[in-house]
């Protein structure tokens, strides 16, 4: 294979790659690449391209733009593989964050610098809700993850020789502070919610660590009141106003959770009250078998549930997200000395490593407690040691 340079401007070079002749027509084939910069830089790029041709890693330049490729990736790759909610989020990121800046660029011409500039612009002035200012570092990191995954697939589809996002440094967001209630705060929250529709879902969250979608999708067939346990087999998802039940993402997400008596008793009382409501409405009662349904047995929409919950916590003067109740459950278990493996199983994490990483802030105190217990045990043994080993 051969190749050469042609000067195009003061700091612009054309790289011409001679490929094998067309096997059908026998015509000569050339591929042109443009490089901005010094001749030395162009020579280096020429050498890299010739090496790619020789080793089979060369990808011919295409006329597809980044916007066209991302649209194809969403439809042909993302849509069949991810949940409806995740796909909706991907579309928002592509349409609002990536395509407006990177969309016109030809896919093979996309450079790490262009991607980095896109992230900088998003951080500075990327809001699309009518307000001034930029996006958070966490949001831009989500943009990077989507773009990186899309370009990784472009490499697999042989549309790119390498992934330009590999050379980009995404922003590093601060770890979000998790709000975990103390035992006293938890009791106060439960007492404030007692007698309302929110009591049971709050109780389930703080005593099982279940997610909102798992709680709203819980069916009576999944609850064993006699055995004091329940199983997680589905979750409720709302996408653009459409409700659907979905399976857990991982095998560990499908799990059995043992219940404390306070939760079993509350479920039993709720079951009896719901049976009376069902008998009163007869055929007009929904047939979803849901533990936490609306008064007519229909599905309790996640957005409606969240709105009611936020209204409640604002009224009682407590700043805590519903998802923080899951963190509360995990943190209280870890502080009580429960094994991280057991906590991981209750939360449905795919590995115990995720649990240790997410709740690392709880562990320092546990480490000190462990060291204190080791010290006490050894000192007791020293004081009671016999003069001779048995």
Per-residue pLDDT of the chain (390 residues; tens, 9 = 90+): 688 898 877 888 888 888 888 777 888 888 878 788 889 988 998 998 888 888 877 766 667 899 999 999 999 899 988 888 899 999 999 999 999 999 999 999 999 999 999 999 999 887 776 677 788 898 999 999 999 999 999 988 878 888 999 999 998 877 666 788 999 999 999 999 999 999 999 999 999 999 999 999 999 999 999 999 999 999 999 887 789 999 888 888 999 999 999 999 999 999 999 999 999 998 888 889 999 999 999 999 999 999 999 999 999 999 899 999 999 999 999 888 888 899 999 999 988 888 887 777 666 566 666 677 777 888 888 887 666 655
In this structure, CATH architecture of domain 66-167 = Orthogonal Bundle (1.10)
Separation in Å, CA 243 to CA 114, 166, 277, 372: 39, 37, 24, 51
- State the Cα–Cα distance between residues 281 and 287, nearest whole angstrom: 12
pTM here?
0.66
Q: What is the pLDDT of residue 388?
A: 63
Q: What is the pLDDT of residue 132?
A: 72
- 258 bridge partner residues: 229
For residue 292, how far is the Cα from the chain centroid?
25
Q: Reduced to 3 DSSP states, what percent helix, strand and coil does the chain have, rounded to the nearest 5?
A: 55, 10, 30
Q: What is the pLDDT of residue 57?
A: 72
**Cβ atoms of 30 and 18 closer than 8 Å:** yes
Bridge-based pairing of strands 223-224 and 229-232 is antiparallel
Separation in Å, CA 65 to CA 30, 74, 165, 233, 347: 21, 14, 16, 42, 43
Distance separating the N- and C-terminal Cα atoms of the chain: 82
Q: What is the pLDDT of residue 238?
A: 86
In this structure, CATH architecture of domain 183-364 = Orthogonal Bundle (1.10)
């Amino acid at each position: 294979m051969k190749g050469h340079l042609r000067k195009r401007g003061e700091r612009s070079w054309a790289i011409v790659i001679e490929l094998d002749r067309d096997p059908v027509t026998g015509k000569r084939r050339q591929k042109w690449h443009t490089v901005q910069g010094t001749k030395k830089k162009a020579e280096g790029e020429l050498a890299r391209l010739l090496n790619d041709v020789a080793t089979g890693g060369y990808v011919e330049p295409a006329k597809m733009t980044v916007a066209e490729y991302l649209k194809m990736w969403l439809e042909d790759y993302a849509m069949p593989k991810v949940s409806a909610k995740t796909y909706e989020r991907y579309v928002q990121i592509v349409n609002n964050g990536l395509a407006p800046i990177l969309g016109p660029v030809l896919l093979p011409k996309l450079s790490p610098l262009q991607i980095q500039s896109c992230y900088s612009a998003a951080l500075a002035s990327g809001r699309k809700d009518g307000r001034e200012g930029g996006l958070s570092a966490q949001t831009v990191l989500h943009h990077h993850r989507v773009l990186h995954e899309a370009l990784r697939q472009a490499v697999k589809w042989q549309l790119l020789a390498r992934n330009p996002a590999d050379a980009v440094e995404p922003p590093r967001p601060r770890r979000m502070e998790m709000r975990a209630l103390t035992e006293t705060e938890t009791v106060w929250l439960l007492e404030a919610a007692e007698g309302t529709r929110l009591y049971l879902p709050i109780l389930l969250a703080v005593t099982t660590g279940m997610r909102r979608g798992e709680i709203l999708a819980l069916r009576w067939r999944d609850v064993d009141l006699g055995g004091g346990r329940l199983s997680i087999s589905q979750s409720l998802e709302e996408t653009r106003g459409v409700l659907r039940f979905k399976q857990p993402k991982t095998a560990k997400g499908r799990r059995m959770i043992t219940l404390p008596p306070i939760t079993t008793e509350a479920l039993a009382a709720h079951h009896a009250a719901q049976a009376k409501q069902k008998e009163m409405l007869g055929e007009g009662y929904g047939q979803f078998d849901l533990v936490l349904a609306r008064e007519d047995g229909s599905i309790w929409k996640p957005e409606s549930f969240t709105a009611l919950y936020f209204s409640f916590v604002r009224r009682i003067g407590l700043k805590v997200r519903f998802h923080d109740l899951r963190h509360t459950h995990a943190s209280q278990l870890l502080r009580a000395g429960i094994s991280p493996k057991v906590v991981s199983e209750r939360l449905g994490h795919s590995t115990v490593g995720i649990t240790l990483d997410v709740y690392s802030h709880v562990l320092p105190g546990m480490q000190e407690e462990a060291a204190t217990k080791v010290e006490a045990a050894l000192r007791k043994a020293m004081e009671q040691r016999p003069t001779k080993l048995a």
